[in-house]
Structure 1
Amino acid sequence: MQATPRSFAAILSNPILNTDSYKASHYLQYPPQASAMFSYIESRGGRYERTLFFGLQMLLKEYLCRPITGAMIDEAKAFFAAHGEPFNEAGWRYIVNQYDGYLPVRIRAVAEGSVVPAHNVLVTVECEDPEVFWLASYLETMLLRIWYPVTVATQSWHLRQTLRHYLQKTSDDLTQLPFKLHDFGARGVSSAESAAIGGAAHLVSFMGSDTVLGVVAANQFYNEPMAAFSVPAAEHSTITAWGRDGEADAYRNMLRQFGKEGAIVSVVSDSYDLFAALDVWGTQLKQAVIDSGAMLVIRPDSGDPLTIVLQTLRALDESFGSTVNSKGRRVLNYVRVIQGDGVNAESIEAILAALDDAGYAADNLVFGMGGALLQQVNRDTQRFAMKCSAIRIGATWQGVCKDPVTDAGKRSKKGRLTLLRNRRTGEYRTVELPLAWDDHRVEGEWDEALTTVFESGKLRVDDSFATIRLRAHADEV
């Protein structure tokens, strides 16, 4: 009889296996007198010059705050034996016996929500126990996945700057900014875990999401009552189920079910003929929209985004009218538009610019972003790397680095490193420590920007989502 397959959650629960195969053999490859190791994580540049740091607290809580057990060691031993790799059983047993299974590593990081220029240290990992010093590198595979939430959070932060610019230019209401980019990405990612991690990262800059797992992750890992919100919205099946002749009835049902005073109702309207649907909304259903007291949000979901958004806005303006705000831009009455098709950083900028040129305020439009938000990024988007930068041989620390002649961009940093921040200018600077970090003294206008967030199995920092959002957008105040 075939054994019942283990769940993904069970497979991922063993930190010894949460690595690359070749890591299992590395304990045999270091110099014989190696007694401690120091590694760091950085963005080596990429699409954006600045990164918004986020997500380490999730990874630490999920993977490193639980102890290694004998059963985990047994499982890993059997796996690597069959897999063709050596296994440091003695080292892992030592961790269980000496540290009750908790990994004797110190992880320091910049505060989550910090916006840091690329090419700076964001995280350091250190192990000073000679018996298991190699842990500082063994954890690379798991810890370097921080690239994903940081990259998603970074992209969303920069998109917020674009949206903020157009609101400042064309709108009287900046309070709508957190709801201008809605997460539609759940179905387009590679896994439920990606939806949770990436979805939470987006919410550092925005408060609208249909990625339920991302909202749940932000709530649970960052002590937030409710990190994001959504509204009742139609999909094509809920419209086409009424048949083509019943399209107006489907729309009327949306108003009847959800069209309450102060509510927001989103209705996809391109199931057959967007322009015919806009005519229905603006004629036979116009008074029902007005009487409902709700804000109707029309979603065109096909065609060239730039063309369709402007055509939709103009048709709704003709039907429902608009008012001119203090910036001289028109704001539609009773209705708005959400564009969720073909949305990426380039199309958002182009559409907002076109609206501005046409005399419409950014108030009229919300974006929904799917695959481009959570899936169309990779480790090279911001060129993330984790490298060993120092090793202790006997009692003496020495810096180590890679410096490939074929690619200077992959040159790594040397030494035991930290990040400083100028309290007057906000500038960041990565520096090499001449002594152990706990003996280090920062003088003048510079403050230590890294803090110990994890040590020997214990989480040392447990930030709230609200605190992280305040850090990320401090410059907006």
Structure 2
Amino acid sequence: MKTNIILNVDSYKTSHYKQYPDETTYVSSYIESRGGEYAETVFFGLQAFIKDYLCTPVTRDDIEEAASLLSAHGVPFNRDGWEYIVSQHHGKLPIEIRSVAEGLVVPTHNVLLQICNTDPNCAWLTSYMETALLRAIWYPTTVATVSRECKKVIQQYLQTTADDLSGLPFKLHDFGARGASSEETAALGGAAHLVNFQGTDTLSGILAAKRFYGEAMAGFSIPAAEHSTITCWGRARERDAYENMLNQFAQPGMTVAVVSDSYDLWHAIDNIWGDELRDKVIQSGGTLVIRPDSGDPVEVVCKTIQRLMNRFGYRVNGKGYRVLPDFIRVIQGDGVSLTMIEKILSALKHANISADNIAFGMGAELLQKVNRDTLKFAMKASATRVKAIWQDVYKDPVTDPGKRSKRGRLALIRDPAGTYQTIRLENLGTRTDLLETVYRNGDLMKTISFAQIRANATTENRHVFGDAA
């Protein structure tokens, strides 16, 4: 369903076209993270927003719909301004958006995106875009950032307790689709997670990566049981339910996950998996992943792995940590957060157990328990052109210095030491501005592939866009 961009806005924005000084011809605004829970951000989501919302011209039908609704709503409507865009620009928005490359890891307090009108008669349009544009940036960028912070922690423990990092791409699985507020939320958040990992059960995220970034298959999953498919067999036939999972899915080269705490997890491990079905698990040629789903995550995970080692044995890797046989692993999908991942991996290390044994599934903590204040995202006007003269625009509230905004037209550079700096555009000189034009006057000017976004997020020293659109 087509979205009317005129109505993708906060109500009060509709009155702002009457509030600028006379002879204001240009307004330049920027988006940044003003700090928050993490020290750096993974920029993501702009191309998806541009393709989905900004490449479709505004029509006279859009104007009529907006005029009718906003009049009944009790707020002004800039009919002349929107009619001008339709008649003079064929409905294409006369704005330019410059941004860092998606996937780039940028410390907070730096400009990530800058937007300015390109037609002097449309100075009001820049800030009108704030509602839709800021929302399009803060959410997927925050999810990509949270996911990457989890990756950093997991990687640290793998480097300490495992022989290699080969399993890292699948150590955090996205379980968040059902906990997201909408399908679009799941799509954007799910794709953001896949910037860092390749495991997901959020199909919407895979579709978003394909639709907006051209990635044929961004993530993978495996057959897995849920409580209903186990408990439908009845408690007396719990063994049969597990055996059926092995019969159906445990084949050479295949992995299957089975939730095992519907009744008594310790009985399931000691007597069913570790006794009655032990030989079948070993001889299947596949990998069985046991999923505990209740109790204190730290205690349950440690105890689960210990009991599996008692039944199936273990080896000691090159780092001196214990590892289950390759045919059996554990995934924790209940109560998982960045903090909990750290606690679990720390406890395992203390017990001389390698992080290789465990993977994590994260749901609402990944896709839903974030908000604009997680990274304190804001879009602010920083410069206007009035009577042919550019002048600084800023806020500097005495009651909250943290909300002080930047001044002037901006550029982002990286100095020889590798440090990012936001500077005034007039001070750029011969240095490279990392903000590049991605959208101008209705057209997507540069495209970036999902593979390149992943490379940018992994290799921080690179700043690369794809080919011109």
Tell me the TM-score range normalised by the shorter chain. over 0.9
Question: Which residue identity does 1:430 align to in structure 2?
Answer: T
Q: Does 1:52 align with 2:37?
A: no
Letter in 2 for 1:53: F
Deviation at 1:476, TM superposition (A): 10
Query: What amino acid does structure 2 have at the position aligned with 1:394?
Result: K
Q: Residue 98 of structure 2 aligns to a residue in which SS?
A: strand
Letter in 1 for 2:394: C
Equivalent position amino acid for 1:107 in 2? I
C-alpha distance in 2, partners of 1:476/1:233? 38
- Asked whether the equivalents of residues 98 and 435 of structure 2 are also in contact (C-alpha less than 8 Å), the reply is yes
Q: Does 1:124 align with 2:111?
A: no
Match of 2:140 among 140, 149, 153: 149
Decide whether the 8 Å contact of 1:53 with 1:116 is kept in 2: yes
Q: Any idea what SS the aligned residue of 1:447 has?
A: coil
| Alpha-carbon distance, 1:190 to partner | 0.8
Select which of 309, 327, 333 maps to 1:340: 333
Kindly report which structure 2 residues correspond to 1:98-137, keeping only aligned pairs within 5 A, or say none. Answer: 98-137=88-127
Separation (CA, whole Å) in 2 of partners of 1:277 and 1:395: 76
Question: Which amino acid counterpart does residue 445 of structure 2 have in structure 1?
Answer: R
Equivalent-residue separation in structure 1 for 2:42 and 2:158 (angstroms): 22
In 2: Cα distance, 1:128 partner to 1:474 partner: 34
Are residue 317 (structure 1) and residue 309 (structure 2) matched? yes
Q: Note if 1:177 corresponds to 2:168.
A: yes
1:464 matched residue in structure 2: 449
Partner of 2:209: 218
Task: Give runs of aligned pairs for residues 3-402 of structure 1, distance below 5 A.
Answer: 9-10=1-2, 13-145=3-135, 146-279=137-270, 280-333=272-325, 334-402=327-395
The letter for the 2-side match of 1:283 is D
Runs of 4+ more than 3 Å apart: none
* C-alpha distance in structure 1 between counterparts of 2:432 and 2:354, whole Å: 42
Alignment match of 2:422 (pick from 406, 430, 433): 430
The alpha carbon displacement at 1:256 in A equals: 0.5
Residue 442 (structure 1) aligned with residue 442 (structure 2): no
2 CA distance for matches of 1:131 and 1:78?
24
CA contact (8 A) 2:104 2:460 kept: no
Q: CA separation in 1, counterparts of 2:129 and 2:368?
A: 24
Q: Deviations over 1:429-449 (max 9, x none)?
A: 111123xxxxx8533xx4211
Q: How far apart are the structure 1 equivalents of 2:460 and 2:407?
A: 32
- Return the letter of the residue paired with 1:85: V
Matched residue SS, 1:448 = coil
> Could you report, residue by residue, the CA deviation over 1:163-214 in whole angstroms, capped at 9, with x for unpaired residues?
1100100111201111000000001111111000111101110000001101
Q: Which residues of structure 1 form unaligned runs of 5+?
A: 1-8, 435-439
CA distance in 2, matches of 1:310, 1:157: 24
2:404 aligns with: 411
**What SS class does the counterpart of residue 283 from structure 1 fall into?**
helix
Instruction: Give 2:67's aligned amino acid.
Output: K
Shift of 1:475: 5.1
Deviations 1:7-27 (A, max 9, x none): xx44xx100000000110100
Q: Distance in 2 between matches of 1:242 and 1:393?
A: 74
Contact 2:107 2:420 in 1 (8 A): yes
Contact 1:171/1:363 (8 A) holds in 2:
yes
Provide the secondary structure at the position in 2 that maps to 1:426.
coil
Q: Is the contact between residue 35 and residue 128 of structure 1 (CA under 8 Å) also seen in structure 2? A: no
Residues 96, 102 of structure 1: 8 Å contact kept? yes
Separation of aligned partners in 1, 2:251 and 2:79: 64
Q: 1:4 maps to which residue?
A: none
SS in structure 1 of the partner of residue 288 of structure 2:
strand
Q: TM-score normalized by structure 1?
A: 0.95
**SS of equivalent residue, structure 1 residue 306:** helix
Specify the code of the residue in structure 2 equivalent to 1:139. Answer: M
Matched positions, count: 459
Q: CA deviation at 1:33?
A: 1.2
**Does the 8 Å contact 1:442/1:448 carry over to 2?**
no
- Report how far residue 425 of structure 1 moved: 2.6
Conserved? CA contact 1:152–1:202, under 8 Å:
yes
Q: Indicate the residue corresponding to 1:6 in structure 2.
A: none
In structure 2, do the counterparts of structure 1 residues 441 and 400 end up closer, same or farther at CA, with 3 Å as the change threshold? closer
Report how far residue 132 of structure 1 moved: 1.2
CA RMSD of aligned residues (A): 1.2
State the SS of the aligned residue for 2:120.
coil
Q: In structure 1, the residue corresponding to 2:220 is in which secondary structure?
A: coil
- Does the residue aligned with 1:267 lie in a helix, a strand or coil? strand
**CA distance in structure 2 between the partners assigned to 1:65 and 1:128 by the alignment:** 16
- Measure the CA separation in 1 of the matches of 2:192 and 2:303: 33
Provide the secondary structure at the position in 2 that maps to 1:174. coil
Q: Distance in 1 between matches of 2:166 and 2:449?
A: 22
Q: Report the Cα offset of residue 419 of structure 1.
A: 0.8
1:262: how far off? 1.1
Cα distance in 1, alignment partners of residues 269 and 383 from structure 2: 64
Contact 1:120-1:429 within 8 A present in 2 as well? yes
CA distance change for structure 1 residues 362 and 430 in 2, over 3 Å: closer, same or farther? same
The CA distance in 1 between the partners of 2:197 and 2:410, in whole Å, is 33
Deviation at 1:37, TM superposition (A): 0.7
State the alpha-carbon separation in 2 of the partners of residues 455 and 349 from structure 1: 43
Deviations 1:144-167 (A, max 9, x none): 011000100011111111011001
Give the drift of 1:128: 3.5
Whether the aligned pair in 1 keeps the contact of 2:411 and 2:428 (CA below 8 Å) is: no
